[in-house]
Amino acid sequence: MTRQRRKHQTKHRPKQVRKPYIDRKIGALPVLSEEGLELIEANADRILAEVGMEFRDDPEIIAIFAEAGCDIDGERVRFAPGFCRKTIQATAPAEFTQAARNPENSVRIGGNATVLCPSWGPPFVHDEDQGRRYATHHDFINLVKLHQTIPYLHHSGGVVCEPVDLPANKRHLDMLYAHIRWSDRPFMGAFIGAERAGHALDMARILFGRDMVDTSPVLYCVSNTNAPLVMDAHMSGALKTYARAGQPVACTPWTLTGAMSPATIAGTLAQVLAEAMASLTLVQLIKPGAPCLMGSFASTMSMQSGAPTFGTPEAGQMILAAGQLARRLAVPLHTVGTLSASKRSDAQSQQEGTWGLLMSLFAGANLINHATGWLEGGLVTSFEKTMMDADLCGKISRFFEGIDLSENAQAMDAIAATGPGQHFLGSDHTLANFYSALFRPDLADNNSFEQWSSEGGLDMTQRANALWKERLEAYQDPGLDPAIDEELQAYIRQKKEEKPDADFF
Amino acid sequence: MTRQRRKHQTKHRPKQVRKPYIDRKIGALPVLSEEGLELIEANADRILAEVGMEFRDDPEIIAIFAEAGCDIDGERVRFAPGFCRKTIQATAPAEFTQAARNPENSVRIGGNATVLCPSWGPPFVHDEDQGRRYATHHDFINLVKLHQTIPYLHHSGGVVCEPVDLPANKRHLDMLYAHIRWSDRPFMGAFIGAERAGHALDMARILFGRDMVDTSPVLYCVSNTNAPLVMDAHMSGALKTYARAGQPVACTPWTLTGAMSPATIAGTLAQVLAEAMASLTLVQLIKPGAPCLMGSFASTMSMQSGAPTFGTPEAGQMILAAGQLARRLAVPLHTVGTLSASKRSDAQSQQEGTWGLLMSLFAGANLINHATGWLEGGLVTSFEKTMMDADLCGKISRFFEGIDLSENAQAMDAIAATGPGQHFLGSDHTLANFYSALFRPDLADNNSFEQWSSEGGLDMTQRANALWKERLEAYQDPGLDPAIDEELQAYIRQKKEEKPDADFF
């Protein structure tokens, strides 16, 4: 390449601007007809009216439903057909913004926006150097930092791994602090129980100021049901705390087809919709207008072993249908991303993960948990898979920008000037579009076999191993106001001193 | 599990019926608006009118276009705006059936039907035992047999690998014979030059009978342009031979964004559409009503190295748009599947391959070449990747069956009978749907870490290595009428004796 060309390219190299969320220019894909959707909705209504849902060990919740006129039978609540839909549609917002401490990173949740979050929940981590091991607080901080280096993740997430070296009853404080301190993106609140949710709100007030927390979403809560048709007090406790504070709650039935829901898809969908609507109704009864999402984490099961399976055709169908159902409720959709049952960051992890993330995007999901790193059915966060999935998140971000139809993109002059049988490699148009025309993943090897061999013949997993270490090395501390930092640390010290350590929840 | 339950399951185990093609119950995903489509179509028309296309070294083709009233300038042909579209839409069939020698395996091409074909063209093969090596006739036969064992492949394909141990000018005879002898599915004709296309027709006449070949599609031809805007005599020679015989031709521009087409997507799409329309017009001028497909093999390029790249966001956008453009022409869409630039059957191969195949299905493609096995940018057919991709083909087949909304699938009685907080594992509904409810891939490992470890801790690539050998072992010869076999062998002997071996095309 000549010196002149190199100069040309440099001149046109655009500054990469990180986008705080995906603004989808490509629509969602329907899987059910109008008739099919009405059938699922009618069945969900029948389930809510005839079977109902149990809210266990939380009399306050039962009282809320009783006051709203629902049919109460002990802990069982039954809903008149149409009641839930009407209640949700009357006051639940179709979209909202979750603020980040760096306002450039605040995320829109709803409409055509999609927000990608990292892995959530695994007690183990895996990397190719040390293998599979229990996760620690050190791993947690490394993951928060690593995620902060990935431009295609929009959210710092929540339990990026379980730091099992910290006491189970206090570690939520250290996790919240790590997100606040080492990332400047939005993050999730503590999910289990009213007390921890309260701690998250306290810490958010220190970070954002009380006024802002009172008026804006600054935390994000996922509330799972205990399918089928149960919500326990851990979940309802967190749900009511966040809802009262006007903080968003993703009402997310987690089902395992054939175990926690019927073996068939239509049955599972009706149950998922019923559980989600009962939870969303609860949010709106507690605080009309509080932000909330319909969630769906509908997994399938191996009929040989009973183990959860991921990246399956049925999971794909279910998330596309859930997207349609959420849009008809006019609430945003929360779901899951690159799930895999694989034990390694291998071919299976990418076949299943790519399938899952693409399906969630085609479903029009608004927030996608586990967009990176999730392995072994959620038992492991993998450092290598995190980097592979990050490439996939980048591809998806570019894909959903849609096709540029500008005069430059049409390239009619370039086609005329090049003519039949010539090539575009040296054309002015190619040089002018050199840096911006095509997405560049970090880990795909496109070199010749010979060059690849001479560079060690590394597979993608091995290249990912080098990349996450490079990225951690290059991590840039976003900094934190020392006064806030001190106040947060004092708060955490105080809360830790209030009770003894315990190794159970 | 009790004896009674086991019996129950066995009773309900359905006989697996292989489907000859995918009948998509889920629609295609649009990427361009009506306005965007009209823009690309107008640009394609302008390219055809102002730049035109060159048909090289084939005066017969020029004469055909001249007679149709096109503007001829040496080998350059220019088309009045709208002429190509009108010509194609007047006579090209929207769908057709390609017959297989086993009528149960005949494939519908067009509408909601999708036909999956194996890898095409690689001079190398790869397996984990012997590594990467030049492909041989032995490999070719093994691949044909392996593909025949995969229920989710619908077509035996063409050059599943290049048997480089056979003379280049005669190997097409051995390849055609291998498809006819070892598979009973449809197959492709020889693509390069009129003479070889004639041999394929002769062999099809021996197999199917002259009458059937005269009246039914029994071969499938892919005709690539030499982008930009050129067709050479090798391609036009085969195209005209098949078109005259009423055999389907997939008119498939192969472009590399930034090299053989503009660096931008909108420009590439206009060029692809122009080249495809010129080729489709040629087919219809040669024989009005001859079956033909609009093809698109629009790849992207690494802007660092100039190497082709696969599974990219832009390739995804282009195939979705090509699907819309083909439907507006009312011809079926031909495209490509699990492409990857990876050198190994690793995570990259599945991230890129899953992306590519899903995009082609979401584009509503009717025939997908390279649905399995393709590695290293098309230089390698991999035995392991073939098996991984076969699982993906199976998943896709199940996914596109859509959601069953029958009373059994709705499972309302099962939900009522199970009730809140109970599980569905032992319910009659689960047992009755045990075998059919969920797709079972062959290679996904869903076991616990402990079980997986105790079974050797194999990754997906290693499991695939065992599986393809098992499958080859279990291959069942579909048999061939000895009289036909003898006639075919005599024909091949005769053709081989007609000229000396040569190691060039």
CB contact under 8 A, B348 and A443: yes
pLDDT score of B505: 61
Cα-Cα-Cα-Cα dihedral sign, residues B467, B472, B475, B481 = positive
Contact A355 B354 (CB under 8 A): yes
CB distance B71 to B78 below 8 Å: yes
Q: Which of B187, B185, B295, B204 is nearest to B245 (CA)?
A: B204
A366 contacts A334 by C-beta, under 8 angstroms:
yes
- Cβ–Cβ < 8 Å for B212, B184: no
CB atoms within 10 A of CB A318: 29
**Tokens encoding B37:** 């489509």
Determine phi and psi for A416, rounding to 5 degrees.
-65, -40
Torsion of CA B338, B339, B344, B346, to 10 degrees: -50
Return the residue of A nearest to B24 by Cα. A31
Among the partner-chain residues B29, B351, B388, the one whose CB lies closest to the CB of A388 is: B351
Token readout for A496 is: 């830790």
Q: For chain B, which ranges sit under pLDDT 70?
A: 1-16, 505
**CB-based contacts of A281: which residues, under 8 Å, 6+ apart?**
A79, A83, A84, A87, A88
Q: Which of B28, B51, B35, B120 is nearest to B261 (CA)?
A: B51
- The answer to whether B439 and B113 are in contact (CB under 8 A) is no
Which residues in A lie closer than 8 A to residue B347 (C-beta atoms)? Answer: 345-347, 349-350, 388, 459-461, 464
Count of CA atoms in the C-beta half-sphere (13 A) of A321: 33
Tell me what pLDDT residue B465 has: 98
CA distance B23 to chain A (A): 14
Note whether B362 and B322 are within 8 A (CB).
no
Q: C-alpha angle with apex A308: B403 to A249, nearest 5 degrees?
A: 80
pLDDT of res. B15? 55
> Is A217 within 8 Å of A188 (Cβ atoms)?
no
Distance CA B262, CA B226 (A): 14
Instruction: Write the ipTM.
Output: 0.96
Nearest by CB to A421, which of B226, B263, B396?
B226
Provide the 3-class DSSP secondary structure of residue B332.
Answer: coil
Cα–Cα nearest to A115, from A19, A199, A258: A19
Which residues of chain B lie closer than 8 angstroms to A416, CB-CB? 47, 50-51
Contacts B396 to A, Cβ<8 Å: 313
B444 phi/psi in degrees, rounded to 5: -65, 130
What's the pLDDT score for residue A9? Answer: 43
Q: Are B349 and B385 in contact (CB under 8 A)?
A: yes
Q: Angle formed by the axes of helices B59-67 and B265-286, to 10°?
A: 80
Model pLDDT, residue B504: 73
Residue A233 DSSP SS3 = helix
pLDDT of residue B118: 98
Which residues of chain A fall short of a pLDDT of 50? 1-13
Contacts of B51 in chain A (CB under 8 A): 415-416, 419-420
- In the prediction, which pLDDT does B503 show? 85
Contact between A449 and B343 using a beta-carbon 8 Å cutoff: yes
Instruction: Write down the pLDDT at residue A396.
Output: 98
**pLDDT attached to residue B458:** 98
CA distance between the termini of chain B: 62
Residues of B within 8 A of A395 (CB-CB) are: 311-313, 355
Contact yes or no for A438 and B301 at CB 8 A: yes
Six-digit token string for B388: 């991984």
Give the pLDDT score at B435: 81
**Beta carbons of A297 and A255 less than 8 angstroms apart:** yes
Residue B417, C-beta contacts closer than 8 angstroms, at least 6 positions apart: B427
Decide if A313 and B392 are in contact by the 8 Å CB cutoff.
no
Rounded CA gap, A62 and B407, in Å? 33
Distance (Å, whole) CA A265 – CA A318:
7
Q: CA angle, A424 as apex, A423 and A429 as ends, to 5°?
A: 160
Residue B370 pLDDT = 98
Nearest to A314 among B54, B303, B438 (CB): B438
Instruction: Answer whether A51's CB lies under 8 Å from A273's CB.
Output: no
User: Cα(A328)–Cα(A22) distance, rounded to whole angstroms?
Assistant: 22
Which residues of B are less than 8 Å from A424 in CB distance? 228, 258-263
Are A318 and A31 a contacting pair, CB within 8 Å? no
Gap from B238 CA to chain A (nearest CA, Å): 20
